[in-house]
Amino acid sequence: MWLTSENLPSSPEGGDENLLRRAGRFAGWAARTGFTIGKRLPLPGLELAGEGLRQVERQVLTGLRRRLDEVDDPYVVALSAAGAEHAPNGTGELVPAREPLRAAMKELLDRSVGFGREQAREYLYATVLRQLTPDEARIIATLATGAAFPVIDVTERGFGGGRTILRNASTVGKAAGVTLADEVPGYLTRLAGFGLVELDDESAELESQYEILATEDLVRSAAKSARRARLVRRTVRLSRFGVRFWAACDPGEWTRVL
């Protein structure tokens, strides 16, 4: 498959087009083309270097990010409205603009009146989707298979339970092929904050995986920094909300480039 103008995702065809479907279609396109351009697809006649191909990827992905950030963002809507309100009125006087934060809140409240259940749900999912990093998307896609993965917290023994040295270390990042493996604890903390994953008690079925996780540098380094280290075992899997979120955003078949 060659990279041509036909392969690139087109711009939105009107503000009323469903944002979530556009993002899903792009994710499917990116999985099939964008994320494999630099390693697999030559450009006939152009002979672009690898850096040139990566620049194309960045431009396309930046364009998607900009659309996701701007479409239906109440703060952006408020800023645009503020600019219009500053325009001269019929008497030539400037109309005072509403404060952007207050206007953004009013925008959300106005939408809450007109939204039905499906619109409210799609808006919720789109808001979460805009905040995910590519690595976090990989983790969600991996957990969407239904598998559970081991999680270890490193705490310091002491009165009252002691302090936590490392929270949410897990092998799910390696399984997902994330780029920033050391950031997996932070990724899981964020995903839990979004309500996309849930952290449960230790699972006996993952005994061997806990032992492997305990030998990883991140966990061992945290344990060495504690006076009396204690490893707390847990598991991570998609939450019920995460399952519904994935069902709405699943781009279909996609290719992992590890």
Q: Where are the domains of the chain?
A: 129-249
Predicted TM-score (pTM) of the model is: 0.66
Residue 81 pLDDT exceeds 70: no
Closest among 159, 167, 172 to 232, alpha carbons compared: 167
Closest among 102, 112, 109 to 81, alpha carbons compared: 102
pLDDT in tens, 89-140: 455 554 445 577 888 888 889 888 888 899 899 989 999 999 999 999 999 9
10 Å CB burial of residue 238 (0-12, 13-18, 19+) is: buried
Distance CA 171, CA 168 (A): 10
pLDDT in tens, 199-214: 999 999 999 999 999 9
pLDDT value of residue 46: 40
pLDDT in tens, 169-193: 999 999 999 999 999 999 999 999 9
Closest among 175, 155, 179, 181 to 167, alpha carbons compared: 155
pLDDT value of residue 112: 87
pLDDT in tens, 24-67: 554 444 443 334 333 334 444 444 445 555 565 566 556 555 55
Sheet holding 197-201, edge to edge: 164-170, 149-156, 229-238, 197-201
> What is the average pLDDT value for the chain, to the nearest integer?
76
Residue 47 CA: distances (Å) to CA of 44, 52, 54, 143: 7, 10, 13, 39
Mean pLDDT of 145-160: 89
105 phi and psi angles, rounded to 5 deg: -65, -40
CATH architecture of the domain 129-249 equals: 2-Layer Sandwich (3.30)
